Structure formats: C-alpha cells, structure tokens
Structure 1
Amino acid sequence: MKANRMEAFSDGVLAIIITIMVLEFKVPEGHDWKALVELGPKILSYIFSFVYVGIYWNNHHHLLHMVRTMNGRLMWLNLLLLFWLSLVPFTTAWMGESYFAATPTALYGFILLLAALSYWLLQRAIINQHSSDSSFILAMGKDWKGRLSPLLYLIAALTAYVSPWISGFFFVLVAVVWFVPDKRIEQALRGH
C-alpha cells in the first residue's frame, strides 16, 4: 500500500468526524436570536473541535508526504490516531451539553492528549525511516510544538476541575500554536 491510500482513508475518517459533530446540533425550538444564544456552549465546543480536527488534517497531510516505506506499523499508528480523534465528537457533544462541566471538559482534554501522543508516535515512526542527515530530520529539529502540546492538554484536563475558563485558555493556546501549518515539512520537501 502507498501512503496516499492511507491519507485518503484518513481524510474520509476526518470528514466523517466533522460531519458527526455538526449533526449533534438540533434545531432550536425558538425562532429568535435568543434560541441560538442558548446553543452557545455547543457552538463553542464545536468550534474548538472543528479547529482541532482541521489542524490534525492539515499536519497529517504534510507528515504523510515524508513516508518512505509504508508498513503495518505506520498503518496501526495511523489507526490509533484516528481512534482517539473519532472520540472527539462524543466529548465535544458532552462538553457542550454540560456547559463545560469539569468531567466532560477534562475528558475532552484527555482525549486530545492521547491524540497528540498518537500523532507523535506516528511522526516518530516516519522520522525513523530517514537518515540522521536527511532534510526532513534537519527540518524537524527539536519539535517544540510537539513536545509542548501534550503538556498543555494535560494542564487543560486537570484545570477543568478548577475552572472551565482556565481549561479553555489552554485549549485555545494549543490551537493557536498549531493553527499555522507546520512549515518544517514543507521546507524538507523543497530540500528534496
């Protein structure tokens, strides 16, 4: 199998994840703006998750361009990442329904932490296919974003029991760090 088949499968799963999240919205009973305001927590949790899934989709796309040899390990690590991301619609809905209650918000952070760790494992497996002096390895450098994100997700999950606002701050912080696609891989591709 070639990496583009795994990428196409992943794109399909991620598209379904986004579709499931939007289908969680029920049409409000009211017919005015107040009816939409009541959906505020659900809309906010959807926006968080849509941005996160978009970030994963974008970076996953770039990462798979660096696959040299497709193998079972990469396929299973990719499925592990997709497994954790497939739980995002559930935690998104629960967090929005509960108005960002502590446990649903903490679980949301924990699921994002496990997705980040899975992405890191996939990235490491792809990195291991390259020689230490390859343009990809040199471009990846110290990967401060990849190291910082799991820590911030853990803090977000733990602070959910202190305040959903503090937890939300850390969710936004991770999204801001990753919102601009990782240019390191694009640089490595140009170096080929």
Structure 2
Amino acid sequence: METNRFETFFDAIIAIVITVLVLKIPQPASPTLDAFLELQTMYVAYLISFLILYNLWYANHNLFQLVDTIDNTTLWIYGIMTFVISLIPYFTIWLANNVYSQAAETMFGVIFLVTHILNTLATRAVYRSNPYNKNLQKINHNSYYLNLPVILIVIGFILTYTVYRPGIYIACLGSIVLWIIIGRLIRRDNYED
C-alpha cells in the first residue's frame, strides 16, 4: 500500500483522538483561579496524552517521508495501534479523576506501554517492508536508548504498587519527555552522518 493514503488516515485518527481528549476536559466550577487550579491533574494528564499522540504523529510523519510503500503486516500493527490510541481519552480522564487509584494508574500505564510497544513494532515492520531503502538504512532504529522510556514506566509501576500511588502518572510524564528527547537526538545523529 502507498504510504500517502495511509498517512492521511493515521493523521486523521490522531487529530480526532486529540479533539476528543480536549473535549473531555471539564470547565472550572467557577471563573476563579482556584477553580482553574483544582483541575491541575486533568491538565497534566491531558498534557501527557497530548504529547504521546503528538510524538506518535511526528515520528510517523518523519518515517513516512522516507518510504513509499508498506506491507499488510505494517497495516495490521498500525490498525491495532489505532485501536489502542483511541482508548487514550477514556483512560486519561479516568486517571485525571482518580489520580490516587491504583486501577486508573495501572490502565493509564498499560495504555502508554502498549502504545510504545506497538509503535516500535510498527516502525520495525516499516523497515522490514522496505529492505532496500537507503534512507532507512542510515537510521539507527535499534538504539538501546529507545528502551529508556519503557524502563521509566516500569519504575513508575513499581512506585505505584509500593510507596507512591501516582508513580505511573509521574513516570508517564517523564517517559514521554524522554521519548521526545531521544527521538530528536537519534534523528540529529543520523542526519549528521
């Protein structure tokens, strides 16, 4: 399948999920700064989810600039990832309303981990379906640094289940920032060569 059509579809899904996500944020109870600040966990949860979605879009946009076709395996992995990211608004709001709930923390972390794993699998599938693409061969998609966000999330799970209930929530924020930084560093290193 040609990537132009698929990229347009994936972009639309990301845009819809972000729109649903922002529409789930309630208005402050009154027009005061205190009422606005009462929703701070909602805003941080939104920020985490927005950054996840934006980073997925950005990474895939850059990847699809280098390839012209993808195979059915890649399409299926992206299909599963699309299903998972469509759940992000639901679990974001659940977490934001119950930041000290172990179940809400767990599901938010699971959605984040599954999204990261599916994105990694999808990227690898794109590489496999384009073995002779010289532009892809230049990029190091096997960097061990790409595992650091997952390690941080695992630490968040340990914190949530031992000493600090919002551990996953905090780890997800740190993980997405780390994911963005690592992606930028890898792209910079690959284009300097």
- TM-score above 0.5: yes
Contact map agreement 1:145 1:177 (CA 8 A) in 2: no
CA shift for structure 1 position 120: 1.1
Q: Percent identity between the aligned chains?
A: 23
Amino acid at match of 1:101: S
How many residue pairs match? The answer is: 191
- CA offsets 1:50-104 (integer angstroms, 9 cap, x no match): 1111111111111222335332222111111111111111110000011342221
The aligned residue for residue 64 of structure 1 is 64
In the aligned structure 2, how far is the partner of 1:58 from the partner of 1:132? Answer: 23
Q: 1:155–1:86: structure 2 CA closer, same or farther, 3 Å change rule?
A: farther
CA RMSD of the aligned region, Å?
2.6
| Greater mean deviation of Cα atoms: 66-75 or 77-86 | 66-75
- Report the 3-state secondary structure (helix = DSSP H, G, I; strand = E; otherwise coil) of the residue aligned with 2:161: coil
Q: 1:4–1:36: structure 2 CA closer, same or farther, 3 Å change rule?
A: same
The aligned residue for residue 174 of structure 1 is 175
The aligned residue for residue 112 of structure 1 is 112
Amino acid at match of 2:149: S
Q: 1:165–1:81: structure 2 CA closer, same or farther, 3 Å change rule?
A: same
In the aligned structure 2, how far is the partner of 1:22 from the partner of 1:3? Answer: 28
Contact map agreement 2:45 2:96 (CA 8 A) in 1: yes
- CA offsets 1:98-134 (integer angstroms, 9 cap, x no match): 1342221111111111111111111111111344894
| Greater mean deviation of Cα atoms: 64-73 or 176-185 | 176-185
CA shift for structure 1 position 156: 2.4
| Greater mean deviation of Cα atoms: 161-170 or 42-51 | 161-170
In the aligned structure 2, how far is the partner of 1:107 from the partner of 1:2? Answer: 34
The aligned residue for residue 30 of structure 2 is 30
Unaligned runs of 5+ in 2: none
Q: 1:24–1:183: structure 2 CA closer, same or farther, 3 Å change rule?
A: same
Amino acid at match of 1:95: L
Amino acid at match of 1:166: G
CA shift for structure 1 position 141: 5.1
In the aligned structure 1, how far is the partner of 2:32 from the partner of 2:186? Answer: 47
The aligned residue for residue 146 of structure 1 is 146
